[in-house]
Structure 1
Amino acid sequence: MPDPAPRRPRVIAVAVQKGGTGKTTLVASLAVAAAQAGERVTAFDTDPQGSLSAWGTLRTAPEPATDRLRPWEFAQFAPILEQLGERGRTLVVVDTPGSSIGGVAAILRLADLVLVPIRPSRLDLMAALPTIEVLADQGMRDRLALVLNQCPPAPSPRTTLYAAQLDGLGVMAEPAILQRVDHQDAIALGRGVTEHAPLGLAAQEIRSLWSWIDRRIPPTGRG
C-alpha cells in the first residue's frame, strides 16, 4: 500500500488594511503558543516592513520557523504549502501588510482562517470594514474571525460597545486581547508572550485564543 500523501499544513492569515493594530505581535505570539502546543509552525512575513522577519532573527529556538514571502512568490503559495507538508510542518501563520489586501489575495484564498485584529475605537472599526467587505465578497465570510486587540486593561463601556458592533459583522474570536506590557517586552526580545512571561495574564489570553482557533479550523486544513 502506498504511503498516504502528506497533509498540507493548516493556514492562519492575520490581515487588516490598517497599520498599528498589533498584527505582527499577535502573529508572533500565536505562532509560539501553537508551537508550544505541539504544532510544527512556519510563520511567514509578507509585509514589506519585515517586522516579523526582524523578530525571527532575534530568536534562538528552532520553533516556530520564520521566513519571508516576496510578492512574486504569493502566486506559488499552494506548492509552497505542499512542500511544507512534505517536511512535516503542520501550521502556517501569515503576517500580511497593513495596506490593501489585494496583493495577498492568493494567500488569503488558501487560508483556513483569516483573523482580523481590530482595536476598540471607532476609527479602527471603520478602517477594518474594507477588509471585512473584501473578504466577504470573495466568499470567505465563513473563514473570517474578528479579534479585539490592544484593549484597555480596565473594563470599558466603549470596549463592550465595539464588541457588540463587531459581533454583527462576523464571528468574534475569544478572548479579546488586552494591552499589556508583556506583549511589547516579548516582541522586543524575539519571544512570544507565552515564552517571556508564561504565567502572566497576557500569556493566558494568547493560549486561550490559540485554543479557540485550533477548535475552529479542521485538523487537516482545507486542501
Structure 2
Amino acid sequence: MVAIAVQKGGTGKTTLAASLAVAATQAGERVTVFDSDPQGSLAAWGKLRTQPEPAVDLLRPWEFAQFQPILDQQAEQARTLAIIDTPGASIGGIAAILRLADLVLIPIRPSRLDLMAALPTIELLAGQGMGERLALVLNQCPPPPSPRTGLYARQLAGLGMMAEPAILQRVDHQDAIALGLGVTEHAPGGYAASEIRSLWSWIDQRIAPR
C-alpha cells in the first residue's frame, strides 16, 4: 500500500495519486485508489472515468481505524495495490492508515515554504519508526533550466529517501485530471507521462514483493 501524505494543501497529492494509480494499472497491477480527503477531489475524478480500472473508493473517517480489514478484503478480491490520497491538513486522524503503508510518498514543491510545511509530516512519521518507509518527491517543479529544483533536491536529500524523478509542472497533468484520466492515458507520449511512469517504476521497486 502506498500513501501520499503531507500536512499542506496544493502540493499535487491528488494529481499524483490519480496518475500513479493509472500508471500502475497499465503496468499490470489491480489497483484501488482511496480518497480519504473530505474535499473528495479524487472521488470526483473517479466519477468522470469511463474505464473500470483503477477502482476508486471514498474512504470515510469512521473507516480510518478499520483500514486493515479493508486491505484484507482487497486482497481477497485479488487487488494487488492500494493507493491512498490523504487530506492536506493534520495527518493525526489518518495515522493508523499511514502505519500500514509500505511507502509514504511526501510531495514537496521546490520552495522554502513548502519544505518547512512538510517538516512536521516528516518528523511525525519518522518519530513513529517509519523513516525507512518515507520517500520525498519534488513535485510541480518549474521547467528547466531552473536552479531551484537541484537546490531543493540537495536540501531534501538530507531529510530522507528521495524519489526519482522530480515531477515538472506540465499542463498535461491538469488536462488529464479535468478529463478523468491519468496523464499516461491523456498524453502517453509526453514528458509528463514519461516522468510518472518512471516514478511508478521507482516506487514499485521499493514496495515489491507485496
**TM bucket by the smaller chain?**
over 0.9
Structure 1's unaligned 5+ residue stretches are 1-10
**Rg bigger for which structure?**
1
The structure 1 residue matched to 2:156, chosen from 163, 166, 177, is 166
Please give the TM-score of this superposition, normalised by the length of structure 2.
0.99
Cα RMSD after superposing both structures = 0.5
Instruction: Tell me how far 1:218 sits from its aligned partner.
Output: 2.5
1:117 alignment partner, SS class = strand
Give, in whole Å, the separation in 1 of the partners of 2:145 and 2:24. Answer: 28
| One-letter amino acid of the structure 1 residue matched with residue 112 of structure 2 | R
Amino acid at match of 1:98: G
What aligned pairs does 1:170-209 form with structure 2 within 5 A after superposition? 170-209=160-199
1:53 aligns with 2:43: yes
Kindly report structure 1 stretches of 4+ aligned residues shifted beyond 3 Å.
Answer: none
Indicate yes or no: 2:53 matched with 1:68: no
- Does 2:118 match 1:117? no
Q: CA deviation at 1:46?
A: 0.2
Residues in 1 aligned to 2:121 and 2:107: alpha-carbon distance in whole angstroms: 11
Supply the distance in 2 between the matched residues of 1:158 and 1:185 (Cα, whole angstroms).
Answer: 25
Q: CA separation in 2, counterparts of 1:136 and 1:201? A: 33
CA deviation string 1:2-51 (max 9, x = no partner): xxxxxxxxx00000000000110000000000000000000000000000
Q: How many angstroms apart in 1 are the aligned matches of 2:142 and 2:84?
A: 26
Identity of matched residues, %: 81
- The reply to whether residue 98 of structure 1 matches residue 113 of structure 2 is no
Corresponding residue number in structure 2 for 1:29: 19
CA drift of 1:155 comes to 2.1
Deviations 1:137-179 (A, max 9, x none): 1110000000000000122112211110000000000000000
Residues matched between the structures, number: 210
Task: Give the alignment's TM-score, normalised by structure 1.
Answer: 0.93
